[in-house]
Amino acid sequence: MPAMSARLRWRKLVSGFMLAMTGVCALVAVAALFFILGYLVYHGGTSINWNFFTKLPAPVGESGGGMANAIVGSAKLLLLASVIGVPIGFLGAIYLAEFSTGPIAFVVRYAADLLNGVPSIVIGIFAYAVVVLPFKHFSTLAGGFALGIMMIPITLRSTEDFMRAVPNTLREGAMALGASKWRTIATVIVPAAYRGILTAVLLAFARVAGETAPLLFTSFGNHFWSPGWNQPIESLPHMVYIYAISPYEDWQRQAWAAGLVLLGLILIINILARTILARGVSVPRS
């Protein structure tokens, strides 16, 4: 056997080097996640205490205070968003997966994909024009509306995929037993796809939970409690933004803490959603 030629040795060297570099790229990308998480824990961890969850923000110059109003505000906004986004996404997906094949389905899918790609700040302009202008003031309603609009396409498209993945034999079996179509959907198809549907809803929820841009001129922000649904309201991501760009050290410290709480919440929902999916059967990757 002849010795390896210099040319071949060079090619093998290049191959090994480039493949190692791709590994480095992957490592850098994954390390970014742990870097972000670690930095937030390092800077924000010490500022998270009981006050953070129970007190109102302290006035400038006073230390202490918390973000209770922002936490409640985010919860209210997300509740409203889910009330708007989930039914439209879920029921729309049933229509796409079970009732329609023709051009109408194409138009709905196209509209959803279009909506999914719209930058969040533009959704904010839309909510401003539709809700804030007629009511003449910023409100929880407007912020929830903006986030709800963002939830629709995410919920719709993934739910449809998961329902389509339910084998046709299940539909035929139910029909053969004499069930009407809507009974088939309600008692066979939705239960069979529920893990996927739950995952879709959770991911949509996690996605809008961190959105700041569409809230800037819809829910606006508020240093105090916001009773009802018709006044400006604070939210966690908005608080992170305002505090991070402020010149006060105490506020900056709290921005880290709020960021940590926000990111923790979003990552937990994401992991939960993906765990639910991983345990399921006969559902597509999405």
Partner 1 sequence: MAATSTTVHGAGPIAGSRSFFDRVRDGDEIARLVTFVFAAATVLVTLLLVFELWQGSVLSRHKFGFGFFFTRVWDPNAGDFGALPFIYGTLVTSVIALAIAVPLGIGAAIFLAELAPARVSDTLQFFIDLLAAVPSVIYGVLGVFIFIPLMREYIQPALSNTLGFIPLFSGPAYGIGFLTAGLVLAIMVIPYIISVSREVLLSVPRDQREAALALGSTRWESTWKVVVPFARTGIMGSIFLALARALGETMAVTMVIGNTPTISASLFSPGYSIAAVIANEFTEATGDLYLQALIELGLVLFLLTFILNGLARILIVATSQRGGGGH
Query: Which CB, 52 or 241, lies closer to partner 1?
Result: 241
Instruction: Let me know: does 115 contact 149? Beta carbons within 8 Å.
Output: yes
Query: Which CB, 54 or 256, lies closer to partner 1?
Result: 256
DSSP code at position 214: G
Tokens, residue 269: 């929902």
Query: Which CB, 79 or 113, lies closer to partner 1?
Result: 113
Tokens, residue 223: 């240093």
Query: Which CB, 32 or 54, lies closer to partner 1?
Result: 32
Q: How far is the CB of 128 from partner 1 (least distance, A)?
A: 7
User: How far apart, in whole angstroms, are the C-alpha atoms of residue 164 and residue 193?
Assistant: 9
Q: What are residue 57's DSSP bridge partners?
A: 65
List C-alpha distances in Å: 94 to 79, 88, 184, 196.
22, 10, 12, 13
Amino acid present at 114: L
Q: How far is the CB of 89 from partner 1 (least distance, A)?
A: 8
Q: How far is the CB of 141 from partner 1 (least distance, A)?
A: 16
Query: Which CB, 69 or 150, lies closer to partner 1?
Result: 150
Q: How far is the CB of 209 from partner 1 (least distance, A)?
A: 8
Tokens, residue 230: 């018709």
Q: How far is the CB of 175 from partner 1 (least distance, A)?
A: 7
Tokens, residue 170: 């299940």
